[in-house]
A and B are shown apart, each in its own frame.
Chain A
Amino acid sequence: DADVTQTPRNRITKTGKRIMLECSQTKGHDRMYWYRQDPGLGLRLIYYSFDVKDINKGEISDGYSVSRQAQAKFSLSLESAIPNQTALYFCATSDPGAGEGDTQYFGPGTRLTVL
C-alpha cells in the first residue's frame, strides 16, 4: 500500500463551490505539506504543518485553507473555487530527523479542474 495517499485522484467542480482534498500517510512523519503544480512553474508550496498544532502559510496560500486532523491526516480546502485554481495538487511528508535533508515524499496527486 502507498505510504502517502490522496483523495480524490481527479475532481471537476464549478466556480464558487467548496471542495476539500484529503491526504493520509502511514510513514509516521510529523511534517506534511500541500503543493500546487502548474505547467512551466514547477511545484509551489501552499501550506505546511510541522505537527498537529503547527500550521504555516506557504508561498501561495490565498484562497486556500488547511486542517491537520491528526498526525496522519492533512486536508486542503478551497472555500470558493475559481478557474485559476485548476491545477495538480500534491500532498507530501517529511522527517527532518532522518538525515535526508528533509526529503519530501509525495502522494499520487489530485487533478482539480474548476469550470
Chain B
Amino acid sequence: AQTVTQSQPEMSVQEAETVTLSCTYDTSESDYYLFWYKQPPSRQMILVIRQEAYKQQNATENRFSVNFQKAAKSFSLKISDSQLGDAAMYFCAYRSAYNYGQNFVFGPGTRLSVLP
C-alpha cells in the first residue's frame, strides 16, 4: 500500500519570504498523481497544485511550485513571496493512475505559520 509522509509537522516563514514544504511517498507504481491541498482556518480543503508523474516538468501555479523528484519519491511544495493568507495546514496526497477504485492517500499535514 502507498504511504505519504510529511516530516515537518509545523513550519513558519516570514512574510514575503520563500518556504518549502516536504513530502515523500512510497509506491511501486510508475504512473500516479500527486497533489497539495491547503486547509486554512475555515476548514475548507482547497487544491493548490497537481502533478502527473509522467510529466517531467514541475507544475507551477502562480506563487506555488513543486519540485518533483520521481526517483527519490519526493514532492516538495515551494511557496514564494509568502502572504499572511498562506497560513494553513498543507496536505500532500497521492493517487494511483492505474486503479481508480483506490482512494487518495493523504499525508498527516504540515502547519504553516506566516509571520508579519
| Physical interaction between A and B | yes
Residue contact A104 to B104, C-beta cutoff 8 Å: yes
Q: Which of A31-83 contact B (CB under 8 A)?
A: 33, 40-45, 48, 56, 58-59
Residue contact A45 to B103, C-beta cutoff 8 Å: yes
A100 within 8 A of B: yes
Q: How far is the CB of A92 from chain B (nearest CB, A)?
A: 8
Contact partners of A59 in chain B: CB under 8 A = 103
Interface string of A86-97 (1 = CB under 8 A from B): 001010100010
Closest chain A residue, CB of each to CB of B47: A103
State the CA gap A59–B100 with chains docked (Å): 15
Closest chain A residue, CB of each to CB of B109: A42
Contacts A40-B108, A59-B103 given: A90-B45 contact, CB under 8 Å? yes
Closest chain A residue, CB of each to CB of B104: A104
Residue contact A101 to B33, C-beta cutoff 8 Å: yes
Contacts A58-B103, A108-B43 given: A101-B52 contact, CB under 8 Å? yes
Residue contact B97 to A109, C-beta cutoff 8 Å: no
Q: In the complex, which range does the number of interface residues on chain A fall in?
A: 20 to 34
Residue contact B101 to A56, C-beta cutoff 8 Å: yes
Residue contact A42 to B95, C-beta cutoff 8 Å: no
Contact partners of A101 in chain B: CB under 8 A = 33, 35, 50, 52, 95, 97
Total of A-B residue pairs, C-beta within 8 Å: 56
State the CA gap A14–B86 with chains docked (Å): 36
Closest chain B residue, CB of each to CB of A96: B100
B62 within 8 A of A: no
Closest chain B residue, CB of each to CB of A42: B106
Closest chain B residue, CB of each to CB of A99: B52
State the CA gap A103–B106 with chains docked (Å): 13
Give 24 CB contacts A-B under 8 Å.
A33-B103, A40-B109, A42-B106, A42-B108, A43-B106, A45-B104, A56-B101, A58-B103, A88-B43, A92-B45, A101-B33, A103-B35, A103-B47, A103-B50, A104-B47, A104-B93, A104-B104, A105-B47, A106-B37, A106-B44, A106-B46, A108-B43, A109-B43, A109-B45
Hey, which bits of chain B sit against chain A, CB under 8 A?
4, 9, 33, 35, 37, 42-47, 50, 52, 91, 93, 95, 97, 100-101, 103-104, 106-109
